[in-house]
Amino acid sequence: MLKEVIHGDIGESYVKAVHSSGLKIYILEKPQYNSCYAIFGTKYGSIDTTFSVNGETTSVPEGIAHFLEHKLFESEDGDAFTKYAKTGAYANAFTSFDKTCYLFSCSNLFYENLEILLNFVQSPYFTKETVEKEQGIIGQEIRMYDDSPAWRVMFNMLLSMYKNHPVRIDIAGTTDSIANIDADLLYKCYNTFYNPSNMFLCIAGNVEADKILKMVESGIKESKPLEIERIKPEEPEEVLKSEVSQNLAVAQPMFCFGYKLPYEKMPSVKDRVCIEILLEVIAGDCSPLYKKLMNEGLINDDFSFEHFCGDGYNAVIFEGDSCDPKAVAEEIKAEIERIKNDGINKKLFSAIRSGLYGGAIRSFNSVESCAMQFVDCAMNDISLFDELKYLKSVTMESVLKRLSLLDSEKTVLSVINPLKED
């Protein structure tokens, strides 16, 4: 197994290893902690709806990655939750647009728990009966999200922003789409995306790296690495629709205002750091815009923003509650234009950079956060300390350069309005 130790300059270091199967392994030892956090994941999410292996192309129902995640907990010799229950570990899993992760947190019997994790994720067991049972449970999960304004406002925005890219579909699919899922399709997806060469194991906490690597050496089933081609439809640069709204049980309008950014390749760490700073400059809590919006009663503490990117999609999103979402969107557009003309205040830039640097250091406090950062490292082939490194060296010029990515012609305003009175 190839192994290297990577040192950061904040007193932390971690081990990165690559198993002969291609599985990437990341371990951060934190001996002073009580607990450990482990994630076994695959680069497979809701957007992987069409793929090709050895020239054979397959299209699968929406929501199948999430469905598979639910079903993988059941193996032929019982379900993983029952096994974890014997050790006292907390276990869970999640599916996002581009990944599926299985995780546990424990403060005892780490190696037993790791064995459970490695075993169940590598032991698929799907039957007609178990698939049908899950359709009922996931059906209820979908219904729950249908009632969630925060979920709907985001997906309505993505539906309007992307014409073809599957980031526009709900992660869990629909009750209709999951009705088309069967055991054979699940096996097909499993055998494609759960190949170790497409997977990662990320661990942080009170553990010993050498012991883990020894376990993993023999604990990963041999399989030939696969070349997976992820087929994405052509996506225009323009948005599909610039406004969308829905009425739900909310007290005041909820909004998501997004800029569709051009996508050439996955943004680098440097790109992401620059955009993170840029968003703080535009609308962070010490920006002139934030002050204006707050003082005019247009936003509250729920206002936030993010850079949202992955394979084939790239956007920045501002979201919150507002009595007048259109006014907020207009103010954001105007502020971006103002900064394009006036540049960035030096003091503001320096304070934001310090703030983000402190935040990055703070994130090392949590074993969960470290393990999640490793997932980002594995997905994008970067180092755990890259963000800190760039935050130290980033210049105002490189941040300003990214401003041109925000085109006011390529925006979507999604609003959830209160229901009209009967």
Which bin fits 42, alpha (ψ -120 to 50), beta or left (φ > 0)? beta
By CB under 8 A, tell whether 106 contacts other proteins.
yes
* Cα atoms found within 13 Å of the Cα of residue 219, Cβ hemisphere only: 20
- For other proteins, the closer of residues 198 and 287 by Cβ is 287
Count residues binding other proteins (CB under 8 A).
Answer: 70
Is-contact 187 132, C-beta < 8 A? no
DSSP β-ladder status, 2-7 and 199-205:
unpaired
Q: Report the nearest approach of other proteins to the CB of residue 128 (Å).
A: 15
Sign of the Cα pseudo-torsion (420, 173, 379, 262, in order): negative
- For other proteins, the closer of residues 1 and 179 by Cβ is 179
* Residue of the chain from 348, 372, 379, 382 that contacts other proteins (CB under 8 A): 348
CA distance 20 to 204: 22
* Residue of the chain from 288, 376, 379, 383 that contacts other proteins (CB under 8 A): 288
Which bin fits 124, alpha (ψ -120 to 50), beta or left (φ > 0)? beta
- Length of the chain, in residues: 422
- For other proteins, the closer of residues 9 and 409 by Cβ is 9
Q: Which of 12, 69, 74, 387 is catalytic?
A: 69
DSSP β-ladder status, 90-95 and 56-59:
unpaired
Residue 207 DSSP SS3: coil
CA distance 191 to 184: 11
The stretch among 229-237, 282-290, 308-316, 372-380 that binds other proteins (CB under 8 A) is 282-290
The stretch among 30-38, 50-58, 181-189, 309-317 that binds other proteins (CB under 8 A) is 30-38
The alpha-helical segments, DSSP class H, found in 225-366 are 269-283, 288-295, 325-342, 346-362
Give the tokens for residue 86.
Answer: 């014997």
Is-contact 259 319, C-beta < 8 A? no
By CB under 8 A, tell whether 87 contacts other proteins.
yes
- For other proteins, the closer of residues 147 and 397 by Cβ is 147
By CB under 8 A, tell whether 421 contacts other proteins.
no
- For other proteins, the closer of residues 6 and 250 by Cβ is 250
By CB under 8 A, tell whether 302 contacts other proteins.
yes
Residue 141 bears catalytic tag? no
Residues numbered 244-263 forming contacts with other proteins, rule: CB under 8 A: 248-252, 254
Residues numbered 134-173 forming contacts with other proteins, rule: CB under 8 A: 136-138, 140-141, 143-144, 146-150
* Residue of the chain from 290, 306, 330, 389 that contacts other proteins (CB under 8 A): 290
Task: Name residue, tokens 């229901």.
Answer: 419
By CB under 8 A, tell whether 351 contacts other proteins.
yes
E strand or H helix at 310: strand 304-310
Q: Which residues lie below 8 Å from residue 303, measured CB to CB, with a gap of 6+?
A: 283, 290, 293, 318, 319, 320, 321
- For other proteins, the closer of residues 14 and 51 by Cβ is 14
Residues 191-230 as x/- pattern, contact with other proteins by CB under 8 A: ----------------------------------------
Residue 246 DSSP SS3: strand
Q: Report the nearest approach of other proteins to the CB of residue 225 (Å).
A: 33
| Catalytic positions, written as ranges | 69
- Which chain residues interact with other proteins by CB under 8 A? 10, 30, 32-35, 81-82, 84-91, 105-108, 133, 136-138, 140-141, 143-144, 146-150, 248-252, 254, 284-288, 290-291, 294-295, 297, 300-302, 321, 347-348, 351-352, 354-359, 361-362, 364-367, 419
